[in-house]
C-alpha cells in the first residue's frame, strides 16, 4: 500500500520530527510558513513536495511570529532553486476574506507568483471562522468576521477569481483539488493503482478534502505552534 506522509497538524519548519519518519513513506508533503536553510536542506534529502505557506500577514497581529513577506520570498526563491519548481507549491492559506486580507493575498500572488514567472503551483483557501477564532479577534481588538465558519460562497468565488490559476483546497461548493492528488503522485514518481469513487479519499476527512486515501499525518502536535496565528484552528 502506498503511503504518503503529510504535515497538517503543525508546521514542518518548526517541528522537525518528520525527518526521522520520512524514510517510512513513499513520499512526503511538507507544509510550512517557516522556511529556513535547515528546512530546505532536509527537504531536499527526501522524496518531497513542499507547500510554502505565505499569506502576506507575517509579522502582523494576525501572524505575530511568522516571517515577513520579504524574508519568506527570499527563502521561497532558494527553495525553488534547490528542489525545482515542480516540487514547490505557493500556498496562500488562509485568505482572510476582508479588504485587508484580500489585498495582502493578492500582493503575495503578484510579488511571488506573477513576477516570479509563474514557476510553481498555487493553492488557496479561506479562513474558517471558528467560535474561538472570533474570540481571539475580539481579544486582539479586531472586528470579528460576521459569518459562521465558511465565508459566503459568492464572496469566496469572487476572491478566487483574483487567482485564476490557483488550486482550491478544502472549500465547500467549490471545485477543489487535494493536497495529495494524482498530479502529486506523478511528481513524486509514485506508481499507485488507480482509485475510484469512495476509495479515493479517507472516510475520516471532511467532505471538502479531496486528498487521496494514501495520506497519513506524521506530526503529533495537539495545539497551536509557536507562530501563534490568530486564526489557528487549534484552541
Tell me, yes or no, whether 116 lies in a domain: yes
Mean per-residue pLDDT, 176-203: 82
Tell me, yes or no, whether 20 lies in a domain: yes
Tell me, yes or no, whether 83 lies in a domain: yes
Tell me, yes or no, whether 165 lies in a domain: yes
Tell me, yes or no, whether 222 lies in a domain: no
- Overall domain count for the chain: 1
Q: State the residue for C-alpha cell 524514510.
A: 23
CATH number of the domain bearing residue 14: 3.80.30
Give the pLDDT confidence of 159-186 residue by residue, as tens digits.
999 999 999 999 999 999 999 999 999 9
Tell me, yes or no, whether 43 lies in a domain: yes
Tell me, yes or no, whether 26 lies in a domain: yes
pLDDT at position 195 is 73
In angstroms, the CA 55 to CA 104 distance is 7
Give the pLDDT confidence of 16-25 residue by residue, as tens digits.
999 999 999 9
Given a cut of 70, is residue 198 above it in pLDDT?
no
Residues 6 or more apart in contact with residue 44 via CB below 8 angstroms? 82, 83
Tell me, yes or no, whether 230 lies in a domain: no
In angstroms, the CA 136 to CA 144 distance is 9
Provide φ and ψ at 172, rounded to 5°. Answer: -65, 150
Mean per-residue pLDDT, 51-75: 98
pLDDT at position 197 is 57
Give residue 10's domain range: 4-217
Least confident interval from 120-129, 140-149, 200-209, 216-225? 200-209
In angstroms, the CA 102 to CA 152 distance is 15
Amino acid at each position: 500500500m502506498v503511503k504518503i506522509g503529510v504535515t497538517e497538524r503543525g508546521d514542518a519548519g518548526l517541528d522537525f520530527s518528520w525527518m526521522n519518519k520520512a524514510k517510512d513513506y513513499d513520499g512526503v508533503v511538507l507544509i510550512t510558513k517557516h522556511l529556513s536553510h535547515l528546512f530546505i536542506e532536509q527537504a531536499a534529502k527526501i522524496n518531497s513536495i513542499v507547500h510554502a505557506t505565505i499569506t502576506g500577514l507575517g509579522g502582523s497581529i494576525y501572524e505575530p511570529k511568522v516571517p515577513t513577506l520579504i524574508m519568506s520570498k527570499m527563502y521561497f526563491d532558494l527553495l525553488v532553486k534547490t528542489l525545482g519548481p515542480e516540487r514547490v507549491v505557493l500556498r496562500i492559506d488562509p485568505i482572510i476574506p476582508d479588504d485587508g486580507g484580500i489585498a495582502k493575498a493578492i500582493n503575495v500572488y503578484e510579488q511571488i507568483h506573477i513576477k516570479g514567472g509563474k514557476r510553481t503551483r498555487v493553492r488557496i483557501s479561506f479562513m474558517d471562522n471558528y467560535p474561538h477564532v472570533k474570540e481571539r479577534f475580539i481579544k486582539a481588538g479586531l472586528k470579528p468576521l460576521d459569518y459562521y465558519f465558511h465565508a459566503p460562497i459568492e464572496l469566496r468565488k469572487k476572491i478566487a477569481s483574483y487567482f485564476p490559476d490557483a488550486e482550491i483546497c478544502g472549500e465547500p461548493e467549490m471545485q477543489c483539488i487535494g493536497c495529495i492528488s494524482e498530479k502529486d503522485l506523478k511528481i513524486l514518481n509514485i506508481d499507485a493503482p488507480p482509485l475510484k469513487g469512495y476509495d479515493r479519499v479517507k472516510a475520516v476527512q471532511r467532505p471538502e478534502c479531496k486528498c487521496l486515501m494514501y495520506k497519513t499525518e506524521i506530526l503529533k502536535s495537539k495545539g497551536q505552534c509557536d507562530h501563534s496565528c490568530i486564526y489557528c484552528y487549534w484552541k
